[in-house]
Amino acid sequence: MDELSKSIQNLSEGDVTQIIRSAGIVGAGGAGFPTYKKWSNLEDVDNLLINLQESEPIFYSDKNLVSSNPESFQKFFQWVLDNFFESVVIGSKEKYRDEWIKKLEQLTDGSIYLHDDLPIDLEEDSGVIFGYTHDVYDFSRDFSLLRVLTGVDVYPDLPTEHGWITQNTETVYNIYKAIFEGKPVTEKFVHINGNTPMHRCLKAPIGTPTKDLLKEAGVETEALKQDQILLEGGPGWCSALENKLAEYGLSKRTNGLLVMDRKIVEEGRAKNEENRINILDKYEWSKKNHEKQPENIQPDIVRIPLLSNPHYRGKVQSSQPIVDSGDRVEKEQVIAIPNSNGISIPQHASIDGVVEEVTSSHITIEK
């Protein structure tokens, strides 16, 4: 075992929590809540559930991460099993298994539960476990997935109150990079679709402006029609970015941007879910070819949010800038520290450049 491996193997629970916080990791599946809070009481948790449902019909980044980096996930699984958990459960859809997950199955030699075999018997099974469900959209919710995989019903409690940490796949990969490579979160996978000439799957720096993201899909923001609206999220669960296009910078939680007709959006506004718009059945999402492998883009300017999800304002505190206009910064450099008044994380420069603007909501960096 090399020196780095020894240092990782000897990390305490407090060390792990601090590393996750220092890397600026939040829920990458859409929630954007600081991840370190989930990992702050590991002594009360026995199991880790990785949500690989990726129910949105235009999303591929989670599946691609697992397919392209099976050795990294296997290494992470072994480490957490050696140190913290009794089981790591990967919850995915059975239709994804052959194309995306078989490599990871083979590397981990994990137990396999197909949908007809569920629920998983955790009294008899431990270690790495793959649980495959039917193709049901709502299984993407952690509490629904946990219930169908294990029979454990946690709602309305938090999963940690019942011995579980639940994480989106990209979030887990970000934790792996923080622990094993010392890398903070500076990039995000995001999908572009709707009224666009192309479907795009992109890997972009945090803070990438709307115009740069949409341009990659063949859309100029100046050409957006009055009857069109930009949505953040996936077809089944998204929210409007209306009147925020000029200020928008890709956040750590954003996994999709959709250009849609206002009429469709109004029809899809859910009455019983705050801020949720559901247009899953109101548009033909497969009518254009889907890009399944992410392409890297490098914008000339980024606008890094100091709060990943504004809906948590009050529960989560914005990061506090420690740079000024005119400062030269390098990628991965800390540019904002956690607020001392509650749940908060740092922010890092996502490109090399010069700080152009520092506000209460974002930091702008230009190459």
Q: Is 342 left (phi over 0), alpha (psi -120 to 50) or beta?
A: left
Q: How far is CA 66 from CA 26, 71, 153, in A?
A: 19, 9, 27
If asked whether residues 281 and 308 sit together in one domain, one would say no
Residue written as tokens 């702050």? 40
pLDDT at 1: 41
pLDDT at 243: 56
Name beta bridge partners: 244: none
Grouping H, G, I as helix, E, B as strand and the rest as coil, residue 173 is helix
Confidence of residue 4 (pLDDT cuts 50, 70, 90): low
Question: Of 152, 181, 210, which one is at a domain's C-terminal end?
Answer: 181
- Among 2-6, 154-158, 275-279, name the one with the lowest average pLDDT: 2-6
Which residues 6+ apart lie within 8 Å of 201 measured at CB?
60, 61, 64, 189, 190, 191, 290, 291, 292, 293, 294, 295
Grouping H, G, I as helix, E, B as strand and the rest as coil, residue 358 is strand
Contact 107, 74 (CB under 8 A): yes
Grouping H, G, I as helix, E, B as strand and the rest as coil, residue 135 is coil
* pLDDT, mean of residues 338-363: 96
pLDDT at 245: 76
Contact 230, 224 (CB under 8 A): yes
Type of residue numbered 114: L
Question: Of 278, 296, 314, which one is at a domain's C-terminal end?
Answer: 296
Q: Comparing C-alpha atoms, which of 331, 337, 339 is closest to residue 315?
A: 339
Contact 159, 144 (CB under 8 A): no
CATH of the domain at 345: 2.40.50.100
Confidence of residue 221 (pLDDT cuts 50, 70, 90): confident
Confidence of residue 96 (pLDDT cuts 50, 70, 90): very high
Confidence of residue 273 (pLDDT cuts 50, 70, 90): confident
Confidence of residue 241 (pLDDT cuts 50, 70, 90): confident
Grouping H, G, I as helix, E, B as strand and the rest as coil, residue 81 is helix
297/205 Cα distance (integer angstroms): 8
Beta-sheet strands, E only, within 222-278? 228-234, 237-240, 256-261
* pLDDT, mean of residues 242-268: 89
Contact 65, 103 (CB under 8 A): no
If asked whether residues 17 and 157 sit together in one domain, one would say yes
If asked whether residues 34 and 170 sit together in one domain, one would say yes
CATH of the domain at 118: 3.40.50.11540
Supply the Cα-derived Rg of the chain in whole angstroms: 20
If asked whether residues 40 and 15 sit together in one domain, one would say yes
If asked whether residues 201 and 291 sit together in one domain, one would say yes
Confidence of residue 231 (pLDDT cuts 50, 70, 90): very high
If asked whether residues 204 and 341 sit together in one domain, one would say no
CATH of the domain at 191: 3.10.20
If asked whether residues 223 and 330 sit together in one domain, one would say no
More confident residue, 274 or 314: 314
pLDDT at 3: 52
Is residue 18 scored above 60 in pLDDT? yes
If asked whether residues 30 and 99 sit together in one domain, one would say yes
pLDDT at 312: 87
Grouping H, G, I as helix, E, B as strand and the rest as coil, residue 219 is coil
If asked whether residues 22 and 37 sit together in one domain, one would say yes
pLDDT at 26: 98
State the residue range of the domain holding 288.
187-296
- Pairing, β 187-194 against β 256-261: parallel
- Among 93-102, 216-225, 297-306, name the one with the lowest average pLDDT: 216-225
If asked whether residues 201 and 350 sit together in one domain, one would say no
Strands lying side by side in the sheet with 301-305 = 301-305, 362-366, 353-358, 328-329
- Pairing, β 164-168 against β 187-194: unpaired
**Total domains in the fold of the chain:** 3
Is residue 242 scored above 70 in pLDDT? no
If asked whether residues 13 and 79 sit together in one domain, one would say yes
If asked whether residues 237 and 307 sit together in one domain, one would say no
Residue written as tokens 């800390």? 334
Question: Of 181, 205, 238, which one is at a domain's C-terminal end?
Answer: 181
32/310 Cα distance (integer angstroms): 9
Mean pLDDT of the chain: 94
Name beta bridge partners: 313: 316
Of the chain, the percentage scoring pLDDT greater than 70 comes to 98
* pLDDT, mean of residues 216-240: 91
How many CA atoms lie within 13 Å of 280's alpha carbon, on the beta-carbon side?
13
Count the neighbouring beta carbons within 10 Å of the beta carbon of residue 315.
11
pLDDT digits (tens, 9 = 90+) for 121-153: 999 999 999 999 999 999 999 999 999 999 999
Burial class (CB in 10 A: 0-12, 13-18, 19+), 326: exposed
Displacement of CA 219 from its chain's centroid (Å): 25
111/123 Cα distance (integer angstroms): 13
Is residue 367 scored above 80 in pLDDT? yes
pLDDT at 94: 98
pLDDT digits (tens, 9 = 90+) for 50-80: 999 999 999 999 999 999 999 999 999 999 9
50/35 Cα distance (integer angstroms): 13
